[in-house]
Amino acid sequence: MSDDAILSLNGLVIGYNEPLCKPITLEVRPGEIIAILGSSGIGKTTLVRTIAGLVRPLEGDFDLHVERRGGLGYIPQRLGLVRHATVAHNVSLGARLNIPWSRTMFKERKERTYDAIRTLGIEEKASEPVRRLSGGQQRRVATARTLAQRPQLMLADEFLGELDQHNVDIVLGAVQGLVSKGTAVIMVEHHEDNAKEFATRVWEIKDKCFYDMSIEEWEIHSLKGEEE
Amino acid sequence: MKYRLYGIVVLLFFLAWRTLDGLVEGDWGRLEGGLSNLSVFFSESMWPPNWSVLEARSYPVCEQDIEFFCSVGYLGMMETLKIAFVSTILGFIGAIFFSSLAARNLMPLSIALPARVFLSAVRSLPSLIWAILFVIVIGFGPLSGVLAMTFYTIGYLGKLQYEVFEGMPNDPLEAGRAMGLGRSSILLNIVIPENSNHLLSQLMFMFEYNVRHGTVIGIVGAGGIGYYISTYLKFLQYDKVLALLILIFIVVVVIDLLSMAVRSFVNEEGDVRKPTWLMLLKNFGI
């Protein structure tokens, strides 16, 4: 494993009872944006959940070189928001993680929360309960939570779904800000256009095989697939 | 599917009926004349309610400007309300602690199982038995009542709470865990806010339950309005008992109205229209 890798998968076999694909061995470095592509039910979510520590690998293991508390940001498919709490409360859950204990801790947490809320353009909704928000607005809240957290590795499972292009641009712009500070992003994505525009690397699961490609390699690979 | 459900309900009804028949050993004659006995008892001994329970007691001398504040009804009800309030709050906090240990989605089985056994043990004794125990241990008075109802509240609410926690969606918990939030932080910032509607509803229900049961435990000497009811029963003053029962009924209705108002802040109904006091009173036909 190289020194600067924040995640390394060592012969990782994912699945619940049966392996969903062949063993995966690879590394992820800071600032990389990886799109996981593949058809529904192929194992994309299982891979993300395994890295998040929510599913045990069937074989192999993985090393996560991030802070145990707050180093990993995670946006699940159903967003994982506290529906009856306000937008500000949900975003502050991320903000509370990486701030060391000090007298200015609460002030800093509040600043970080509202910075993230402003960046995602949901300041008018800050004191409303999440349950009142539209699906697209809720996705922005989940992104703001991760933005306030400032993790070293961000895992996102279809977090751009239900968003129109304008909102996709806002959310991706915000995530790009994190990436510029060194955060690596692994996102499950259904829309290949988003992957093309945003990702630097693609993981594709197909016919129980795992492919790890740069975005250029993937574009050539998908063109070849179309020609065939 | 619908007809199968109806079938099950009808079957259960007949099963209950057969069981009841077994319990009374087929002697249904006892019910004969029961209604007329009740009507005679009610009209001759209880009706009309004796509202002197809302007037000042003869001793000690009333020093209040308004006589009502020295009455048996007011003093007894206030003591019952205080006992119910303190024991509901203390019991609720204790129940949150134990239910978070007992919920399978928050704790491993090795912790959840002993916590469940503890809650079952506490719940298996009715509040009346707890009251008798505490009266024996620390003597007559409201402290015995508070302790008895606190213990019962922990056992009863604890079960309701861990069932609610286990029924909550998993994704906020998973997000919190993956992000690195600790157990206490997940409980305080995710589990409790997410279930706030249910928790408030249970809290208000338990308060109402404790007010009603405060009357029962008062009978064994644990303080409150039950003490006066017990005294009037002993002296066959059923009209005063009825007046106190009406007072309890009014308080229970008011708590129910309060419960509706409090819950409207956290449920989705409140998103559309917050109930006004006037609307609540109209709903209850008052």
What are the tens digits of pLDDT across the range A12-21?
999 998 888 8
Residue B118 burial (10 A CB sphere; 0-12, 13-18, 19+): middle
**Span A64-89, mean pLDDT?**
91
Query: β-pairing, A24-28 with A33-37?
Result: unpaired
Question: What is the number of structural domains in chain B?
Answer: 1
Residues of B in contact with A130 (CB under 8 A): none
Q: Can you read off the two tokens belonging to residue B118?
A: 């503890």
Has residue B91 got a pLDDT over 70? yes
pLDDT tens for B43-86 read 887 788 888 888 777 777 777 777 778 888 888 888 888 989 99
- Is the CB of A73 inside 8 Å of chain B's CB atoms? yes
**Span A152-157, mean pLDDT?**
93
SS (H, E, C) A134-202: CHHHHHHHHHHHHHHHCCCEEEEECCCCCCCHHHHHHHHHHHHHHHHCCCEEEEECCCHHHHHHHCCEE
Has residue A3 got a pLDDT over 80? no
pLDDT at A66: 86
* Identity of the amino acid at B238: Y
| Best to test chain B binding among A49, A74, A153 (most B CBs inside 10 Å) | A74
Q: Which residue has the higher pLDDT, B168 or A104?
A: B168
Has residue B155 got a pLDDT over 90? yes
Identify which of B178, B179, B194 has the shortest CB distance to residue A82: B194
How many whole angstroms separate alpha carbon B168 and alpha carbon B263?
18
Q: Residue B37 falls within a domain, yes or no?
A: no
Q: Residue B231 falls within a domain, yes or no?
A: no
> Looking at the predicted complex, does its ipTM rise above 0.95?
no
Interchain proximity A96–B190, CB inside 8 Å: no
Q: Using CA atoms in the order A103, A106, A112, A114, what is the torsion angle rounded to 10 degrees?
A: -140
Tallying the residues shown for chain B, one arrives at: 286
Residue B271 confidence class, pLDDT cut points 50, 70, 90: low
- Is the CB of B181 inside 8 Å of chain A's CB atoms? yes
Helices (H), chain B: 2-23, 34-41, 72-102, 109-124, 127-138, 142-167, 171-179, 183-186, 192-194, 196-219, 225-234, 238-263, 269-272, 277-283
Has residue B118 got a pLDDT over 60? yes
Has residue B189 got a pLDDT over 70? yes
pLDDT at B268: 62
Q: Residue B18 falls within a domain, yes or no?
A: no
Has residue B272 got a pLDDT over 60? no
How many whole angstroms separate alpha carbon A223 and alpha carbon A211?
15
Q: Which residue of A has its CA nearest to B187?
A: A82
Query: First and final CA of chain B: distance in angstroms?
Result: 40
- Is the CB of B167 inside 8 Å of chain A's CB atoms? no
In chain A, the domains with their CATH numbers are: 1-66+152-165+172-228 (3.40.50.300), 80-150 (no CATH)
Closest-CA distance of chain B to residue A205, Å: 23
Residue A125 DSSP class: G
pLDDT tens for B5-24 read 899 999 999 999 999 888 88
Q: Residue B148 falls within a domain, yes or no?
A: yes
Chain A (132-151) residues lying within 8 Å, Cβ to Cβ, of chain B: 132, 149, 151
Residue A105 confidence class, pLDDT cut points 50, 70, 90: confident
Q: Residue B22 falls within a domain, yes or no?
A: no
Interchain proximity A76–B175, CB inside 8 Å: yes
Q: Which residues contact B246 (CB under 8 A, 6 or more apart)?
A: B49
How many whole angstroms separate alpha carbon A39 and alpha carbon A219?
17
pLDDT at B102: 95
pLDDT at B10: 94
Are B149 and B87 in contact, with CB atoms under 8 Å apart? Answer: yes
Identify which of A53, A80, A84 has the shortest CB distance to residue B266: A84
- Mean of all residue pLDDT scores within chain A: 88
**Span B1-8, mean pLDDT?**
83
**Span B211-225, mean pLDDT?**
78
- Is the CB of B172 inside 8 Å of chain A's CB atoms? yes
pLDDT at B285: 55
Are B251 and B182 in contact, with CB atoms under 8 Å apart? Answer: no
**Span A21-33, mean pLDDT?**
91
Q: Residue B163 falls within a domain, yes or no?
A: yes
By percentage, how much of chain B surpasses pLDDT 70?
A: 91
Domain that holds residue B132: 67-226
CATH code of the domain covering residue B79: 1.10.3720.10
Closest-CA distance of chain A to residue B187, Å: 12
pLDDT at B270: 54
Residues B126-138, buried b or exposed e (16+ Cβ, 10 A)? bbbebbbbbbeee
Has residue B100 got a pLDDT over 90? yes
**Span A51-62, mean pLDDT?**
92
Q: Residue B205 falls within a domain, yes or no?
A: yes
pLDDT at B129: 87
Has residue B188 got a pLDDT over 80? yes
pLDDT at A227: 67
Q: Residue B56 falls within a domain, yes or no?
A: no
pLDDT at A143: 93
How many whole angstroms separate alpha carbon A7 and alpha carbon A60?
14
Closest-CA distance of chain A to residue B191, Å: 8
Chain A (39-58) residues lying within 8 Å, Cβ to Cβ, of chain B: 49, 52-54
pLDDT at A188: 92
Q: CA gyration radius for chain B?
A: 23
**Span A82-95, mean pLDDT?**
93
Listed range (A186-195, B25-34, B45-54, B91-100) with the worst mean pLDDT: B25-34
How many whole angstroms separate alpha carbon A222 and alpha carbon A217?
9
